[in-house]
């Protein structure tokens, strides 16, 4: 997966503006903060982390990580 540091920095800034840190997301999901960083940077995929970041930012995952391919939610 491609690493987009600018996108990662934007996600981090937007979360910080909402008073949410990667450590908060890690605690919520039950993983390490380093995994949250790797997901944000595009190094790794982790559905729970992606969903949690997406929920906190109120933005679809496909918009946050345009280089990743997400399946449409079943309705």
Record the tokens describing residue 16, joined without a space.
Answer: 């910080």
- What local confidence, expressed as pLDDT, does residue 71 receive? 63
**38/73 Cα distance (integer angstroms):** 24
pLDDT band at 57 (very low <50, low <70, confident <90, very high): very high
Confidence band of 74 (pLDDT split at 50, 70, 90)? very low
List of domains in the chain: 5-64 (1.10.260)
Nearest to residue 29, comparing CAs of 6, 10, 51, 45? 51
pLDDT digits (tens, 9 = 90+) for 14-44: 999 999 999 999 999 999 999 999 999 988 9
pLDDT over 90, % of the chain:
72
């Amino acid at each position: 997966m491609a690493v987009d540091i600018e996108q990662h920095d934007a996600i981090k800034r937007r979360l910080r503006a909402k008073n949410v840190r990667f450590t908060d997301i890690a605690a919520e999901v039950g993983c390490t903060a380093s995994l949250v960083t790797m997901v944000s940077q595009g190094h790794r995929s982790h559905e729970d982390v992606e969903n949690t970041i997406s929920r906190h930012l109120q933005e679809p995952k496909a918009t946050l990580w345009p280089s990743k391919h997400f399946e449409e939610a079943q309705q």
